[in-house]
Amino acid sequence: MYTYKYPRPALTVDALVYTNENGVPFILLVRRGIEPFKDRWALPGGFVNMDELLVTACMRELEEETGLKVKEMSQFKAFDAVDRDPRHRTISVVFSAQLPGKAEVKGGDDAARAEWYRLDDLPEMAFDHREIIEEFFSQ
């Protein structure tokens, strides 16, 4: 095991999965089952394991939290605001996937629920996830 003189930030991934239904954009969200932000909605995601690639971690977290399997995702951007996670310094790399329609999803792992939300009617969100979504769809 390595020990370091300087603290290291934690690395996470978040999955921004979306679709359009009759011209209306929908995004997949999970309701957090644990603190911080218990019962608020968030993008599916979590911590990267030491032995996995970022995209692999994102697809794993997506499946664990929603039951949804995707074959590929595209890297969008890293979000690194110092105070984005109240637990500690966390940097998240966001990946996206567009689906042809709303897939069946269910909450799992530390996600109490998983649901599709209209982009123009998002619930109260955890972390900086609303800002991530807004930035992604404004490009």
Taking only the tens place, the pLDDT of each residue in 66-124 is 999 999 999 999 999 999 999 999 999 999 999 999 999 999 988 889 999 999 999 99
Contact predicate 73/97, CB 8 Å: yes
Question: At 97, which helix (H) or strand (E)?
Answer: strand 90-98
Amino acid at 90: T
- For residue 6, the model assigns a pLDDT of 86
Contact predicate 132/79, CB 8 Å: yes
Percent of the chain with pLDDT over 70: 99
The predicted model gives 116-137 an average pLDDT of 97
Asked whether residue 2 carries a pLDDT value surpassing 90, the answer given is no
In angstroms, the CA 83 to CA 87 distance is 9
Q: Token pair for residue 58?
A: 């994102």
Average pLDDT, the chain: 95
Backbone angles phi, psi at 66, to 5 degrees: -130, -15
Q: Output the pTM of the full model.
A: 0.93
- For residue 85, the model assigns a pLDDT of 92
- For residue 1, the model assigns a pLDDT of 59
